Amino acid sequence: MSNSIDSSTKNTVSPSATAKFDPDSIHQRLNTSLSRPQLNADGSIRHFLGVEGLNKVQLQAIIAKAETFFDENGQLINSPELDGCTVMNLFFEPSTRTRTTFEVAEKRLGANVLNIDIERSSTKKGESLRDTLWNLQAMTADIFVVRHSASGAAHFMATEVTPDIAIINGGDGWHAHPTQGMLDMLTIHREAPRPFEELSVAIIGDIKHSRVARSDISALQTLGVKDIRVCAPRTLLPKGIERFGVTVYEDMNRCVTDCDVIIGLRIQNERIGSPLLASSSEYYKHYGITPERVALAKPDALVMHPGPMNRGVEIASSVADGAQSVILKQVNNGIAIRMAVLSLAMQGQRAHQADIHSNS
């Protein structure tokens, strides 16, 4: 989903509104344009920059690879697939959950892990991003895991700066959070009682600023979900989002009715009390994931949240800790997905290098 979409629309869209665009066509064109930087000629993953650009078979391959890191009891296992490889975690903006799970995944794969302190790096002293990356590349790095506040930063690194390093996007601006999107898909795959093609999924919250929402929507569409619903205050809805094949609801009760999956999104504190959002209590009143609203969904519906959660704002504690919540399973699944993406990208990068050498 493009970051150029904004929320300047003056009217919320009702479920009965007809989109003026063909979402399948838009989705296909977007995937085609974004596939080139991250794939080898044979379709294998060389970088993991976004779920946009990957087809259904490729997303299923990531899920299948992640499944290999669970034993018969559902416990994570170690695998030496990155033994001898050096992974550098380059987080240009703060993160605890994503950075930690990446580090756990890297160590479970046997990699040498370096966490680069960007706050003390030479970029803070005026060195360009290009020069910083080239210097890190010279230190025999094999993989960069990158989080950056600028949308498209990971694509820039993969295409313009260090194409011979496997680049894993750990979140870029408002654009994408592909490993979060894929861990959500793995969670749905493992926990939902029906296949993707039969699911109704509701995404609730700050859709406009959420890279998680963008990645989830794209992955859900690619995996065959036909009923994707979104609900948020008008100020937190991107203009024209319905063109991407989702149905926008003004009323949350209607949005979650008969849903199979409810995904809550985080509301950043700076939005509360601003023109975008009057108050946390007002938000909770209209959009909070409460027991009463969960009861409107199917009896076996899943409740998900990317974290960190604002209890009593986005979600009731009784729901977050309840029987239908799979939030902690998402965290565990995040390790498996990141192991899968790291392994596949390194495998694809090695194949790419071998191909270059064989043709030189």
- Annotation: binding site for L-aspartate: 125, 211, 266
Binding-site members are 97-98, 125, 147, 177, 180, 211, 266, 307-308
Tokens of 5: 């979409």
Three-state SS for the chain is CCCCCCCCCCCCCCCCCCCCCCHHHHHHHHHHHHHHHHECCCCCECCECCCCCCCHHHHHHHHHHHHCCECCCCCECCCCCCCCCEEEEEECCCCCHHHHHHHHHHHHCCCEEEEECHHHCHHHHCCCHHHHHHHHHCCCCCEEEEEECCCCHHHHHHHHHCCCCEEEEEEECCCECHHHHHHHHHHHHHHCCCCHHHCEEEEECCCCCCHHHHHHHHHHHHCCCCEEEEECCHHHCCCCHHHHCCEEECCHHHHHCCCCEEEECCCCHHHECECCECCHHHHHHHHCECHHHHCCCCCCCEEECCCCCCECCCECHHHHCCCCECHHHHHHHHHHHHHHHHHHHHHHHHHHHHHHHHHC
329 by Cβ neighbours in 10 Å (0-12 / 13-18 / 19+) ranks as middle
Binding-site members for carbamoyl phosphate are 97-98, 147, 177, 180, 307-308
313 close to 83: Cβ distance less than 8 angstroms: no
Give first-to-last CA distance, the chain, whole Å: 38
